[in-house]
Chain A
Amino acid sequence: MDTRVAELEVSLSNGIAIRTTQLVKRYGEREVLHGLDLTVEAGEFIAVVGRSGCGKSTFLRLLAGLEKHSSGSISLDGYAAPGIHPDVRIMFQDSRLLPWRTVIQNVALGLPGDSRQVALAALCEVGLADRADEWPANLSGGQRQRVALARALVHQPRLLLLDEPLGALDALTRIEMQCLIERLWQQHNFTVLLVTHDVAEAVTLGDRVVLIEDGSITLDLDINLPRRRERGTAEFAALEGQVLHKVLGAQLCPN
């Protein structure tokens, strides 16, 4: 009976739980993160917002194991993070597809053996199976990001780190991509950390919106709106206003 409960819990949340304590990152003299404490439960969707240069991308790179933190600790599922973690995938603002590989070869990158079927399934999930054999150069920006998403999904990550992946897309494509990310997150139950400068996007997608200002967390807000959130509602606008007000602070209206 106990084992069945344990199994059920595993299948309910496939994600990685994150805990950072007093996380500090210095580049030479300059301290970028000053003691960041954040706890993320398995399967949670966290949206990290902040002005450019506040350290939010650095935070994500530390979680991805791309850079070493200067002091403090990061634990994934209770273990100290060992550099690049095989269950963690990161997506950047640029798709970083290899231009000399076809779409499907890009998705299959790093998979062992004959992985065409697996890669094709992942492309299906992002709705691009029919473009499998084209060069990335023939795709639009939004399609390239979807391929990058498929490439991350194919490894069945348990933690997906998104570093402003929609930042360079037009408004309509962004909304489509937000729906896609939300749907895939609900389907696969991984943990997501989305870094964005778009507060509306953060409120649309996040279980929690975390604000980083000048290297520290200054706001950690639960978003308890039911999902498929409508942007027009009063509650949505109130939450968005609350975060925006905090971000902009005293400079809200310079005039």
Chain B
Amino acid sequence: MTGLPASLLESVAAAAVREGLADALFTRLKTPIGRLLVVSGPQGVVRVAFETEDEDAALAEVAAALGPRVIGSDREMAAPRDALAGYFEGEPLDLPVDLRLARAPFRHAVLERLREVPRGKTVSYGELAARAGNPKAARAVGTACARNPVPIIVPCHRVLPGTGRLGSYRGGPERKAALLDLEGIRTR
């Protein structure tokens, strides 16, 4: 973090966006499940990172894929900020996403199908594997979820093991439980 005046940083960001100099934009957002890093490219949100993740690594991952002109701005990221804040207050979340950080085709397919699972509903790993075209690939679905670059927006917290237990989560099981609780789903 820097001690530079926010007004200076926002002016640089606004001018950069105006001139088309930004490869990606990011913001940090306070939520009931802790701070989130949200990064957008020209086509949508490319990365959401929990505060437990290495922020520098997440931004470097984006820079490698979209270009090094990665710029922080709360103002330029107002739309995703508002949408996520709304989600935590119970509203539906509909933000454009860019899944290019999930390169493997099957992982990509899993995340695409997962986007169709609405708030308040869940799906099992096996069922999601079937929807993505390979019913036997429940384990690969687990990997796809564990590496989901845009958690919350692509709702991997809605994927549960067939046992009815909670299962694992990139942001830790307590965050998965908190998100499901927020959506009115009780888990064991």
A, B bound: no
The interface of chain A, by Cβ under 8 A from chain B, is none
